[in-house]
Every structure is written in C-alpha cells, then in structure tokens.
Amino acid sequence: MGLDDRKLAVLRAIVEDYVATQEPVGSKALVERHQLGVSPATVRNDMAVLEEEGYIRQPHTSAGRVPTDRGYRLFVDRLSRVKPLSPAERRAIERFLVGAVDLDDVVHRTVRLLAQLTRQVAVVQYPSLARSKVRHLELVPISTTRLMVVMIADTGRVEQRLVELPAPVPAEHVTDLRRLVNEKLVGSQLAETPPLVQALVEESAPHLRPAMTTLSTVLLETLVERHEERIALAGTANLTRGGLLDFQGSLRPILEALEEEVVLLKLIGETEPSNTTRVLIGDENEIDNLRAASVVSTGYGPGATIVGGLGVLGPTRMDYPGNIAMVRAVARYVGELLAQN
Amino acid sequence: MGLDDRKLAVLRAIVEDYVATQEPVGSKALVERHQLGVSPATVRNDMAVLEEEGYIRQPHTSAGRVPTDRGYRLFVDRLSRVKPLSPAERRAIERFLVGAVDLDDVVHRTVRLLAQLTRQVAVVQYPSLARSKVRHLELVPISTTRLMVVMIADTGRVEQRLVELPAPVPAEHVTDLRRLVNEKLVGSQLAETPPLVQALVEESAPHLRPAMTTLSTVLLETLVERHEERIALAGTANLTRGGLLDFQGSLRPILEALEEEVVLLKLIGETEPSNTTRVLIGDENEIDNLRAASVVSTGYGPGATIVGGLGVLGPTRMDYPGNIAMVRAVARYVGELLAQN
DNA sequence: GACTGGCACTCGCTACAGTCGAGTGCCAGT
DNA sequence: ACTGGCACTCGACTGTAGCGAGTGCCAGTC
C-alpha cells in the first residue's frame, strides 16, 4: 500500500477543498487549486489508489471524490497543519470570558463562545463533582424536621438538597451536625467520600445518630450517585447550516442525542489525558445517532488537573484543524479562569 | 358577514383533517369523512366564502384548502371541543411526577413529560424569583474576604453567589450580618426587596457598614436584576416530525429563537391570569423567528398563585385542543406538587 | 517505470413536452 | 337554498434528450 507523499498531499487537498466547498472534488479542480505539480491524469491514478484503500469514495460514478471517515482520520492524524487562532478570535475569547461572576456564568459564556467561534454545536461539562473537593458543607434548618444541605465545592460548584429528618432536631444539634460533617469531609475528594460518610455515622454520638443517618444517605445519594454531572449546550441552530446536506437530511437523530445528558457526557466527559484533544469521526462514535457527526473534545481545569470536558459537535465535514485549535484555546482560558478562583 | 353554523362546521372539519393528514383538504374528502349532510358543491361554496373572509387559503389553484392563522384562531376560540385526557395520559403524568426529590428534578421531569405527551417542544420556567418569597439567607465564609451567599426561596429555588468583601470580616461579624439580613428579608417578596436592602445598609452598625454595602449590591444584582429567570427546554427533536413541511423547510430560525432565554420568557413567562391558557398562533407571535410556530402556554403555581409559566411550541398545524388540555393538566399537577412542598 | 495527453464512456442534472387527476368555479335545474 | 354537471386550472409525475463534469484506460514520452 504505497501511500507516498504525493498521494497524501492529494488526500489533504481533497479534504481541504471538500470542507471548504461542500462539493465532491474532481481531479481537474484539484490541480488548479493546489500546486501539486502533476497533471490531472496522474492525480486520477492516485485517487484510484486512495479509493481502493478506503480513504475517499465517489458518491456516484460521474462525480468527484469525497473523503471517507477513514480519510478524515488520516487527515487529522498526519496531514492537518495546526491552524493558529486569528488575533480577532483570540480577542473574542478574552473579551467573552472576563466579567463572569459565577461558575454558572463562566460555563454559559464558554459554551456560547465556543458555539460562536466554531459555528458548531458546543458542549461544556460543569466541573465534575467526582473530581472536586468539598470546600464547605452548610446545613440550613428550614423547619425542625427539614434541613437544606448545601455543598460548596472547590471548583465553585454548589449543590443543594432538602432532607426530611425522621424526628425533630433542635438547633444546637444542627450546629453539632454541621461541625462534625465539615470536620470530616472538607478537603476530601468527592469520589472518595463514601467511606468517610459511613464512618461519620458510626462515630457520631447516640443523640445525633438518627439525624446523621438520614443525612448521610442523602449526601451519598445526591453528591455521589445521582445526576452529579451537569452539561451546558449551545449552537444547535448551527446544525442547520450546510442545508441538510450533512447528516443525510435529518437532524432528528442528532437532536435526540443532544437531549440525553448521558450521551453528551460520554462524548466529552471521558476525556482523560490533559493537553490532548480527542477527535471522534463519524463511525468511530459509539452512539448510533451520531454516526454522521464528529466530535472534538478536550478536558479543562485549573493548572494541569482536569475537572471537566468541553467540545464541539458537527458534521464529519468540518474544519478539524480550526476546531481543534479553538477547543484547545477555550479550554486553556477556562482553566486559567478557574485557577484564579 | 354570514358565517352560519355549517360554514363553521366546514372550517372545523378542515382544521381537524389538515392537522391529522398534513395535506390540503378538498371538498370531496370533507363530505366523505364528516357528516355534513350536504354535497361537495355546497361545501365548495362555503369554502369560497371562508376563503374570502381569510380563514382558509389554497396553496395553489388546483389544490385543497389549508387553514390560515386566522382560521386556526377562530377554531381555537369558538370551534374546538375540549379533549379530555386519556386515562393513559393521566397515569403518565402522575407516574412521571412522583418521586421528584428536588425543584430541579421537578422542572426537568415536567419538561420532559410535556414534550413526550404533546410531541412538541416543551418549555418550563423555573418558579420566578420575583414572585417568590425569601425563606432563608445563608452566609458561608469561604475565606476572611470571601462570602458565599445562598438564598433559599419558598418555592424551593436556591440561588448562590460569591461575594468579594472590601476588607477581612471576622466570623462574629458574619454571624451578625446573617442575623440582620434574615431578620429584614425573610418572608418578603423578592420583587419588593430593593428598598428593604437599602434600609439594611443604612441601619447597620458602623463596623458592619462596608461589608453590608457590598453584600447589598450583590444581593440586588443577583437576585433582582441579573438572569433571575431560568428555563428548561425539551423535545427539540420533535421539530423534525412532519419532515420539514412545517416551518417552511428550515428549522434554523426556530432553533435560534429557542436558544434565547429572553425569547422563551416572553413566550411563557408573561402568562398572568391563572386558570387561563394562552394560545399564540403563527403571526400573532411577536418574535419574527417564530412566525411559523404556535405556542400554547399557561401559568402554574401552588394553589391559585402563579409562580412561573410552562407551555409547548410547535407548528401552527398542531393539535390545539389536545395540547391545551395537556398543558393545563400538567400545570395543575405541578401546582399541586409545589403546594405540598 | 513514472507521468501525461487523449479519448470513449458513465451518469446525474436540467429542460421540455405530454398526460393525469384532484380540485375548483360557475351555472342551470330542482 | 341546495345539487349535479361541466369546463377549466395547474401541480405532480413520466419519459426523452442534451449537456457536462468526471472518470478509467491506453498508448506514447521522458
């Protein structure tokens, strides 16, 4: 399988042209627009090889070539040149993110920014609770048998939940509970909380036992098990660009997938290695509904740690180098923002 | 202008058939499917009148008739018969809403339920802060110069915000601040808070003044002015049903509009009169992007008070009676749920 | 042996003509 | 006031033809 340099150059040219024009690209157009230094006929031969190897294909016999998922993959892995952000883009990022007052605010601004820059659907995961540390736990008595538990994480996330106590608990006891819970849990990673919470129940004085027991149940339930992850989404209108040519005519499956938090988490939440950008192209995607889409995602967080993921989703025919650059840049800025916190 | 009973019956039949089949309906089909008791020719005469009056129109000369926005309006106002929920639907509502642990949970379940029942896009506004009363304000010291303010509303909503203090404040002072703020504000409607907060600053002891001042600014800013309203959305995938025939072929403007919180609030947030369902049909909509859509919305809240709005959005060609019934039913159930709180 | 020019061929796209039929408007008759 | 009948309109569909982009292949050249 000789994929010499020129064949690779041809593939790169095909991808770039197709992404730009959205139309199958033929041999003649190719030599005109790129300095390949050979004749159309030669390019045709190369194309035949590329097709045989599965990197490109013909929509119909008398049409130009279009990259396959495999072609995009090769392009992303070996052929794309890094595309530096324009000063305007750089400025847009800075301007957009200053003045955020809130974690909510940061996340919302980020997701809108990403959608606007890439002109794709943007997804941002809130800092994962599992990766956060407890900064403070507040117990607010609502009535004698009701307690509002508020957990503040070091990433700025705040979760709250109402607790129904089995029996009335006087204010002093609440103070005790608050002290105990904070002593034990503050500073610990949420994912490692369960044994600590367990110990808390066992060690607590008899008169606090019942309250502490229900409290612990709720803590575990809310903070560790149940929908601990949140997601923000923006730019769905961008799916309609490219007039139904992408996504083989129906946005249905895409929109459906975007409504499932679980799916989105799978897409951008799994990004482990920092500094790396993950690119999923078409079929590589495990979610059936998204077989016609590509995802560019990365992790973000203060400094080198990663507390969540963010990324964009669009047609396989997307500007990979550009999107990768933007996703990276935005992730870096958000990380810095969180570090200042 | 004679719109006798039969003409109205004809209009109703046209609307019902068109909504069901999505195809222009002709005179012959009409008399076959409905017991109008007259011949197609007579119906044709009636149709001519209805068209002249602007209730229906012909997409092209040799096609059947289609209702206009005005026709739908008349249908909704005078012709539609209430459509009682099926037992299955009733059960679905109940099943869906029990087991909600949280306000967040209630809202999310509600919006998904609505989307599923109506097969349209569903929108639910979180209980409006402006209409809520303060139940408790908690001040959590994060460091000596940072305070987390947590506000718990009687509707179950919880808002928090970080405050940067101008100078370090010792723990005892925080306790004082907490007491003062709660004494003054608990139980008051949020919309009426500003003067109270103002008074709070003026009345506070000199040593608390600086802290109270910044605190008050943040309180006003977060709770009254800034994005006090939240919205949940579901069922956007339903827009793709009816295969691009609705919305004249492009979902673009609709999706764009749905991303703007402000727009959605305008749609469902304005619903004042309880017990009433508001129906906006096509052009009646003030938002240009939504000129091809209809909105059915109503207010909800515990008992007779209204704390927020909810509704559905879909093509003008929608099942108005059904959607009205469902929106109402869901609003009532959610109200009951909130009342139990 | 690699590249090139030339040529025959494929096939989707567009335009055009013709037919079909659903649906209409109108009118004379009951 | 309603009805049956009839001429008419016009979109949808079908089939044909011509165009042209693009290909594959082959013989020739460096």
3-state DSSP of B29-59? HHHHHCCCCCCHHHHHHHHHHHHHCCCEECC
Task: Report the pLDDT value the prediction gives residue A1, as an integer from 0 to 100.
Answer: 47
Task: Report the pLDDT value the prediction gives residue A253, as an integer from 0 to 100.
Answer: 92
End-to-end CA distance of chain A: 53
Is residue B1 over pLDDT 50?
no
Q: How far is CA A16 from CA A32, A277, B51, B215, in A?
A: 14, 20, 53, 54
- DSSP H helical ranges for A54-102: 69-74, 87-97
Length of chain A: 341
How many Å apart are A67 CA and C14 C1'?
A: 27
Distance separating alpha carbons of residues B68 and A245, to the nearest angstrom: 31
- Mutual orientation of helices A171-185 and A209-219 as an angle, nearest 10°? 50
How many Å apart are A293 CA and D27 C1'?
A: 45
Architecture of domain A130-225: 2-Layer Sandwich (3.30)
Closest Cα partner for B69 from B261, B320, B302? B320
Task: Report the pLDDT value the prediction gives residue B273, as an integer from 0 to 100.
Answer: 62
Task: Report the pLDDT value the prediction gives residue B341, as an integer from 0 to 100.
Answer: 67
Chain A residues 65-84 within 7 Å (CB) of strand D: 65
**Contact status, residue B123 vs residue B111, Cβ threshold 8 Å:** yes
What would the CATH number be for the domain defined by A5-79? 1.10.10.10
| Nearest nucleotide over every DNA/RNA strand to the A25 CA, judged by C1' | D22
Which pair of structure tokens corresponds to residue B71?
Answer: 């026709």
Q: Which secondary structure element, helix H or strand E, spans residue A324, and what is its range?
A: helix A320-340
With distances taken from each CA to the C1' atom of nucleotide D20, the closest residue turns out to be A62
Is B150 close to A158, i.e. CB distance below 8 A?
yes
The whole-angstrom distance between A177's CA and the closest CA on chain B is: 16
How many Å apart are A63 CA and D21 C1'?
A: 7
Q: Quick one: pLDDT band at residue B227, thresholds 50, 70, 90?
A: low
Contacts of B252 in chain A (CB under 8 A): 237, 240
Mean pLDDT of B73-87: 89
A98 touches strand D (CB under 7 A): no
**Domain segments of chain A: what residues?**
5-79, 87-128+229-340, 130-225
Contacts of A289 in chain B (CB under 8 A): none
Residues of chain A with pLDDT under 70: 1-2, 224-227, 243-245, 248-249, 270-275, 341
* Strand partners of residue A153: A134
How many Å apart are B31 CA and D10 C1'?
A: 23
Distance separating alpha carbons of residues A254 and B16, to the nearest angstrom: 31
End-to-end CA distance of chain B: 53
Closest Cα partner for B185 from B239, B223, B229? B223
Chain B, nearest residue to A138 by Cα: B140
Q: Tell me the Cα Rg of chain A.
A: 26
Is B101 close to A161, i.e. CB distance below 8 A?
yes
Strands A308-315, A293-300: pairing is: antiparallel
Chain D nucleotides close to protein (CB under 7 A) are 2-5, 9-11, 20-26
Which of A1-5, A181-185, B73-77, B265-269 bottoms out in mean pLDDT, i.e. has the lowest? A1-5
Closest Cα partner for B123 from B306, B318, B263? B263
Is A259 close to B237, i.e. CB distance below 8 A?
yes
Which pair of structure tokens corresponds to residue A99?
Answer: 């003045």
Share of chain B above pLDDT 70, in %: 94
Closest Cα partner for B55 from B83, B21, B18? B18
Give per-residue pLDDT as tens, B114-170: 999 999 999 999 998 888 888 888 898 888 888 888 888 888 888 888 888 888 988
How many Å apart are B210 CA and C27 C1'?
A: 91
Is residue B67 over pLDDT 90?
yes
Mean pLDDT of B221-234: 79
| Nearest nucleotide over every DNA/RNA strand to the B41 CA, judged by C1' | D3
- DSSP H helical ranges for A75-208: 87-97, 103-118, 171-185, 193-203
Task: Report the pLDDT value the prediction gives residue B272, as an integer from 0 to 100.
Answer: 62
**Could you give the count of Cα atoms lying within 13 Å of A160 in the half-sphere of its Cβ?**
21
**Contact status, residue A224 vs residue A190, Cβ threshold 8 Å:** yes
Task: Report the pLDDT value the prediction gives residue A56, as an integer from 0 to 100.
Answer: 93
Most B CBs within 10 A among A150, A217, A241, hence the mutation to make, goes to: A150
Closest Cα partner for A257 from A226, A222, A233, A279? A233
Is residue B238 over pLDDT 90?
yes
* Strand partners of residue A312: A122, A296
The whole-angstrom distance between B298's CA and the closest CA on chain A is: 24
Contacts of B162 in chain A (CB under 8 A): 101-102, 156
Nearest-5° angle of CA A231, CA A237, CA A238? 95
CATH superfamily ID and name for B87-128+229-340 = GAF domain (3.30.450.40)
